[in-house]
Amino acid sequence: LRDNRIELVRASWHELSISVSDVTLSDEGQYTCSLFTMPVKTSKAFLTVLGVPEKPQITGFTSPVMEGERMQLTCKTSGSKPAADIRWFKNDKEVKDVKYVKEEDANRKTFTVSSTLDFLADRNDDGAVISCRVDHESLNSTPQIAMQVLEIHYTPLVKIISSNSWPEEGQSIILTCESKGKPVPEPVLWTKDGGELPDPERMVVNGRVLSISFLNKTDNGTYRCEAKNPIGRNSTEYVLIVHDVFNTLLSTTVIPSLTTATVTTTVALTTSTTTSATATSTRDPNALAGQNGPDHALIGGIVAVVVFVTLCSIILLGRYLARHKGTYLTNEAKGAEDAPDADTAIINAEGSQVNAEEKKEYFI
């Protein structure tokens, strides 16, 4: 071995050691150690030299990129032996759908590898970090990484936020137009029903905010917010309906369910002097528990009492008439025992009521 990079480290009858500095690919091969005895003794070893991949580079990126355009980013590294492995990441999340190409270098010993990432630019990718990582056994678990920050331009995204979900007459409302785009959108334009704002004194625009004070029915309509930037323009609408205060009270007041009372009266007339009268009050099952209605239960109770008293009066009157009619029939029967006709029977009955024993009948 005749090379200035090769140095004799140790030499004795038992050991011969050398060191090689600045190793190159040409140092790869079979090394032989010989002991000049009779016969000569030799020992051989094969040295493998790894090709360290160069730092990767990302190509194909032009800044800025318009939303919807197709992007093709290529990561390439040369000089690796064996061929290096390339992996893509977007914000630390690996991207699997890539194209990998391996080519042999001119020295027929090392390789050049490349990988292509193909995707459509999206506004959500604005500011994302695209990284290309090269893994190889010669890097001692410390991969080489190339990074590229994406810049995506897109049209504004517009949204209207209302400060009052149920505006009423006399109140105020604030409509905020949120617009997000790249480049940053210009000041927004507010319109109503396709024209300018009709009342600038009450409808004040401050930047992206529209304030309307002392609302009335004439403010009803469709309010449009439009934002634009060099890429394009976009708009959104908000329909304002001013509610009447009286209607609002009716819509927000809980009207209790009506409570009904059903009165059932049963009268039984028999030969007994006892009359049963039953009053049953039934409450509407649909009425909500705990609600204080407008005294419908009280009115139903009064009606039930009136009906009950009326029925009792009718029953007592019927009993009175029935009792006197029975007494008359009984007296007539008393005089009819010995009388030839009805008139004589009545006279006999009246004269005999004093001394005769009266027959009593009871109606139960």
If one compares 247 and 241, the residue with the highest pLDDT of the two is 241
Give the pLDDT score at 194.
93
Annotate 132-182 with DSSP letters as a single string: EEEE-GGGTT--EEEEEE--EEEEEEEEEEES-SS-BTT--EEEEEEEEEE
pLDDT at 324 over 80: no
pLDDT at 268 over 80: no
- Tell me the domain boundaries of the chain: 6-47, 57-150, 155-240
pLDDT at 258 over 60: no
Quickly state the pLDDT bin for 229 (edges 50, 70, 90): very high
Helix (H) or strand (E) holding 324: helix 296-335
pLDDT digits (tens, 9 = 90+) for 333-354: 544 555 565 566 556 555 544 4
> Rounded mean pLDDT of 274-296?
42
Spatial CA neighbour of 221 closest among 190, 189, 201, 193: 193
Question: What CA–CA distance (Å, rounded) separates 275 from 265?
Answer: 12
Give the pLDDT score at 94.
94
Give the pLDDT score at 288.
40
- Evaluate whether 71 touches 60 at the Cβ level (below 8 Å): yes
Q: What are the helix and strand counts (H, E) for the chain?
A: 3, 22
pLDDT digits (tens, 9 = 90+) for 184-208: 998 899 999 999 999 999 999 999 9
155-240: in CATH 1.20.1250.20: no
Quickly state the pLDDT bin for 321 (edges 50, 70, 90): confident
pLDDT digits (tens, 9 = 90+) for 38-52: 898 899 999 999 999
Question: What CA–CA distance (Å, rounded) separates 38 from 129?
Answer: 68
pLDDT digits (tens, 9 = 90+) for 136-186: 999 988 899 999 999 999 999 999 999 999 999 999 999 999 999 999 998
What backbone phi and psi angles, to 5 degrees, belong to 317? -65, -40
Alpha-carbon distances of 224 from 172, 176, 188, rounded to whole Å: 18, 11, 10
Give the pLDDT score at 134.
96
The percent of residues above 90 in pLDDT, for the chain, comes to 56
Question: What CA–CA distance (Å, rounded) separates 251 from 257?
Answer: 15
272: β partners? none
Give the pLDDT score at 265.
34
If one compares 253 and 35, the residue with the highest pLDDT of the two is 35
The percent of residues above 70 in pLDDT, for the chain, comes to 75
Look at 63-72, 216-225, 281-290 and tell me which has the smallest mean pLDDT.
281-290
Mean pLDDT of the chain: 80
Give the pLDDT score at 322.
72
Most confident of 78-87, 269-278, 304-313, 318-327: 78-87
- May I ask the CATH class of domain 57-150? mainly beta
What one-character DSSP code corresponds to residue 5? T
Intrachain domains 57-150 and 155-240 with the same fold: yes
If one compares 116 and 142, the residue with the highest pLDDT of the two is 116
> Rounded mean pLDDT of 247-253?
48
Spatial CA neighbour of 87 closest among 127, 45, 146, 150: 146
pLDDT at 101 over 80: yes
pLDDT digits (tens, 9 = 90+) for 124-143: 999 999 999 999 999 988 89
